[in-house]
């Protein structure tokens, strides 16, 4: 392969990479808007929903603040402020045991979990319904592969 062919191939790769990025950003922005509008019915932000979903689905009904920070959509620096706001809204309770702070849902938080999480799950599932189950699994695999870089 000569230099001109290599450059042309490289230019095509750059354009394809840019096109992929643009499509992913468009998809993300569109779905973020839809999700925000949906969650707005309960005065929840995406980050608050994430905390409710993470803590509510945890087997033991509570999660350490450190584990939550690792799994959360917000940065570790913002998790404390987020949890404080959720505690003030009576959605979560923070309890300190030895060196760990545990997060659990209040009755109000559990009610939101039971009401919002299934509906958000259905909304998210419907957005991928045009893909077969195998295609959805493949997409998940590919996204994880990109995240592992």
Each residue's pLDDT, cut to its tens digit, for the chain (149 residues) gives 666 555 555 777 778 888 888 999 999 999 999 999 999 999 999 999 999 999 998 767 788 888 888 888 777 778 889 999 999 999 999 999 888 889 999 999 999 999 999 999 999 888 899 999 999 999 999 999 988 76
Rounded CA separation 40/77 (Å):
24
Write the DSSP assignment of 13-32 as a string of letters. Answer: HHHHHHHHHHHHHHHHHHHH
CATH 3.20.20.70 holds for 44-147: no
């Amino acid at each position: 392969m000569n230099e001109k062919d290599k450059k042309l191939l490289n230019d095509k790769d750059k354009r394809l990479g840019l096109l992929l990025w643009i499509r992913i950003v468009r998809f993300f922005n569109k779905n973020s808007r839809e999700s925000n509008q949906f969650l707005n019915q309960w005065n929840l932000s995406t980050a608050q929903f994430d905390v409710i979903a993470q803590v509510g689905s945890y087997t033991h009904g509570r999660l350490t603040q450190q584990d939550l920070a690792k799994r959360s959509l917000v940065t570790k620096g913002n998790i404390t402020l987020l949890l404080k706001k959720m505690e003030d809204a009576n959605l979560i309770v923070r309890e300190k045991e030895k060196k760990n702070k545990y997060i659990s849902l209040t009755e109000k938080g559990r009610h939101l979990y039971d009401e919002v999480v299934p509906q958000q799950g259905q909304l998210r599932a419907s957005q991928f319904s045009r893909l077969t189950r195998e295609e959805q699994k493949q997409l998940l695999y590919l996204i994880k592969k990109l995240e592992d870089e």
